[in-house]
Structure 1
Amino acid sequence: MNGSSARQLMSQMLVEKRNSLAPEMVGMRCEGARRMHGLSRRDVAQIADISFNHYQRLEQGTSVGVSAPVIVRICDALLMEDDEKARMLALHQAWARPRRPLAGSRVAGPQAAGEISGRQRASSAGV
């Protein structure tokens, strides 16, 4: 699975789960009429103790650098079962997988690293 499809699946799971929960189910008190069914993004962010913008970007699939502990907090906020949480963590891992260098890009190998450290030693020795 590539990162793009993992982002889409994660986004879909987050939206579906968020919409399936009433505020009372997560211990929130509702005063007055609500315009929406389910939790708002702001509700989830507040319960998970993350910023609204961070949660919104994650749900939209545009977030970068989200950590596994944050994913767990969001899963807990959304009352996900263990299998749902495992799925979210697997999607996160597929999403967060390190990217390969672009074709044709140069990556320093061991020889180049040795040359660089040799130059650094020479420059620090005043050569």
Structure 2
Amino acid sequence: MENTLGDFLRSRRARILPEEVGLPSHGRRRVQGLRREEVAQLAGVSVDYYVRLEQGRGGSASDAVLDAVARVLRLDEVEAAHLRSLARPPKAPAGTVAGRGRARQQVRPGTRLLLDLMTEVPAFVLGRRMEVLAWNALGEAVNGFSTRTGGGADGPPNQARHAFLDPAAREYYRQWDAVAAETVSYLRRDAGLHPDDPVLSALVGELSVRSEEFGRLWADHLVREKTHGVKLVRHPLVGDLDFGYETLGVNGSPDQLLVVYTAPAGSPTAQKLALLASWTAPGGTSQVAGASGASEGADASGAAEAS
């Protein structure tokens, strides 16, 4: 049985040299980084308790203990939150039934309308498991979401499947290594927040089997939020595009993020975006993954099928 908490703690203490925390490093050490006994000593807990925690038998660890361990292991804010999720797994809401995680995520009509109104920037809604739930016209022009089948025959495009299983992704992302690491660290965080999601487990299993790079990165237990950064792509029609991106939470839809690509006015990328926009059909609406039929106002915005 997988012990994700123990694997995460071992990976984090392996990063820290004894001398970095004021401990002697004399003699040959059997483990890389800190020993369990050293972490326990520095965190002010008994060795037995820390060993049980690393074995996944720590019970309901207190905030004080988890904060002390996070301090010793030099976890950042996101990693510390991940530690708390693993040590005290979130409880499923009352009335939750098995398999509910398979239900398709829905994008509110108001969010789709917002995408339609964003005519000068590529934008899309990212949901659980890195599923792309909806996108605007420029988002489609830049990313080609409607041509991706990463989510299965009737599911939404999946950014993780695209990055690791589509050979074209390595050409499209000019910094593929950075995108790969970001993708895996985001999925790791998602897995910590939703430990009983069978769809996510199946996705991780598939990627681990089909991609050696994914398996290696997954074993590193990196955890990051998708907040902002740089995305460098090579578009098949207009060439290199240098984007910044900003990620905004969608209020009322806690598992959804609005991702917007930006470029300074007058920059080569902004000029190429204007060219792509001129090729986009006038009056185009946002597309919703898996939807079909004609657009009928805001509630049906984005009805073009995403295959």
Same fold (TM over 0.5): yes
Q: 1:93 to 1:28 in 2, by over 3 A?
A: same
Asked whether the 8 Å contact 1:23–1:39 carries over to 2, the reply is: yes
In structure 2, the partner of 1:26 is 21
Counterpart selection for 1:85 from 63, 80, 99: 80
1:58 aligns with: 53
> What RMSD over aligned residues (CA atoms) do the two structures have, in Å?
2.4
Secondary structure of the residue that 2:59 maps to in structure 1? coil
Q: Higher strand share goes to which structure?
A: 2
Higher relative contact order at CA 8 Å, sep ≥6: structure 1 or structure 2?
1
Q: How many angstroms apart in 2 are the aligned matches of 1:87 and 1:64? A: 16
- Indicate the residue corresponding to 2:43 in structure 1: 48
- Whichever residue aligns with residue 21 of structure 1, its letter is I
Q: Residue in 1 aligned with 2:206?
A: none
Of the structure 1 ranges 43-52 and 22-31, higher mean CA displacement relative to structure 2 is found in: 22-31
More helix, by proportion: 1
Partner AA of 2:75 in structure 1: M
Cα deviation for residue 83 of structure 1 reads 1.1
Stretches of structure 2 lacking an aligned partner (at least 5 in a row): 95-307
Conserved in 2, the CA contact under 8 Å of 1:68 and 1:92?
Answer: no
Deviation at 1:44, TM superposition (A): 0.3
1:19–1:37 contact (8 Å) kept in structure 2: yes
Cα shift readout 1:98-119 (whole Å, capped 9, x = no counterpart): xx9xxxxxxxxxxxxxxxxxxx
TM-superposition CA deviations, 1:45-99 (whole Å, max 9, x none): 000000000000000112223212101100101111111001112223316x5xx
Alignment: residue pair count:
93
CA distance in 1 between partners of 2:68 and 2:55 (Å): 18
Q: 1: distance between equivalents of 2:4 and 2:58?
A: 14
Q: Is the 8 A contact 1:75 1:85 kept in 2?
A: yes
Moved more, 84-93 or 30-39: 30-39
The letter for the 2-side match of 1:16 is: S
2:69 pairs, out of 71, 74, 85, with 74
Q: What is the TM-score normalised by the length of structure 2?
A: 0.28
TM-score, with length taken from structure 1: 0.63
Gaps of 5+ in 1: 101-127
Structure 2 partner of 1:107 = none
Letter of the 1:20 counterpart: R
